[in-house]
Amino acid sequence: MSQMLDRPDFGVIAGWVKRGERVLDLGCGDGALLKLLIETRGVRGYGVDIDDANVLAAIANGINVIQSNLDAGLAGFVDGAFDHVVLSRTLQTVRHTQEVLGAMLRVGREAVVSFPNFGYWKNRAAVLNGRMPVSEDLPYQWYDTPNVRFFTMLDFEDLCARMNILVRERQVLDEQGRLVTEEHNFLGSLAVYRITRS
């Protein structure tokens, strides 16, 4: 399972998806997560991605992929069409954060969102040292990053509360992909949330 080694959040997400579920993967990249879920969980689903190379790679992986930006991509799906809607490491690249979260919970019973935690201690240390953070989960320079939203786990949980979104479960990983069990917003590099409408 090389995909799971490359992408530790995949293991967490796969653990939350039950056999035979319907899954929508937003920003699906080359379709590796959906492929993993199809092979190990027998799910049915679609990926959405805007990038030419990703769409081509997902098609080569045998994944149903829709080339679209997230807004238009979600508009095509009917309410409650999916058991899980996944947004893996993408929320921080989306400008219309609330709209996307709302749309995910419109088309899906439950959403799974993973994002780099800007509250991770190394990120805080970088800023204290006068530099924008660059790490395993934030691998970009400030001038070439696709990220447009910078938020911590606490910020995300605040937004969920404001939007009446219930956090069902969360798993937090460090840079090595190991589970963080305490001081999550300080020790966690990548956060994975299971959210639903409250």
Partner 1 sequence: MLIGFFLDEYVSSKSGSVGIVAAQSAHFDAPLELKSGAVVPAYDLVYETYGTLNAAKSNAILVCHALSGHHHIAGTYADNPKSLGWWDNLVGPGRPLDTERFFIVGVNNLGGCHGSTGPSSPNPASGKPWGADFPVVTVEDWVQAQARLADYLGIDSWAAVIGGSLGGMQALQWAIDLPRRIRHALVIAAAPKLTAQNIAFNDVARQAILTDPDFHGGHFYQHQTTPKRGLRLARMLGHITYLSDNQMGKKFGRELRNTDGGFSFGYGVEFEIESYLRAQGDKFADVFDANTYLLMTKSLDYFDPAHRHNDDLALALKPALAKFLVISFTTDWRFAPSRSREIVNALLKNDQDVSYAEISSNFGHDSFLLAEPQYHAVLSAYLGRVKL
Contact yes or no for 4/36 (Cβ under 8 A): yes
Measured from the Cβ of residue 51, the count of other Cβ atoms closer than 10 Å reads 14
* Site size with partner 1, rule: CB under 8 A: 24
CB of 115 to partner 1, least distance (A): 23
Q: Does 39 interact with partner 1 (rule: CB under 8 A)? A: no
Q: Does 58 interact with partner 1 (rule: CB under 8 A)? A: yes
Q: Does 68 interact with partner 1 (rule: CB under 8 A)? A: yes
Closest CA to 95 of 69, 67, 117: 69
- Which residues, including other chains, have CB under 8 Å from residue 5's CB and lie 6 or more apart? 177
Closest CA to 16 of 160, 120, 155, 114: 114
CB of 27 to partner 1, least distance (A): 15
- Which residues, including other chains, have CB under 8 Å from residue 47's CB and lie 6 or more apart? 24, 25, 26, 28, 29, 31, 34, 58, 63, 64, 65, 66
Q: Which of 3, 16, 41, 59 binds partner 1 (CB under 8 A)?
A: 59
Of the two residues 32 and 191, which places its CB atom closer to partner 1 in the complex? 32
Angle at 188 (CA atoms; ends 182, 192), nearest 5 degrees: 105
Q: Does 76 interact with partner 1 (rule: CB under 8 A)? A: yes
Task: Draw the binding track, 96-135, toward partner 1 (x: CB under 8 A; -: no contact).
Answer: ----------------------------------------
CB of 167 to partner 1, least distance (A): 28
Q: Which of 10, 46, 156, 193 binds partner 1 (CB under 8 A)?
A: 46
Of the two residues 57 and 104, which places its CB atom closer to partner 1 in the complex? 57
Cross-strand partners of 49: 67
The residues that touch partner 1, with contacts defined as CB under 8 A, are 22, 44, 46, 52-60, 62-68, 72, 76-78, 81
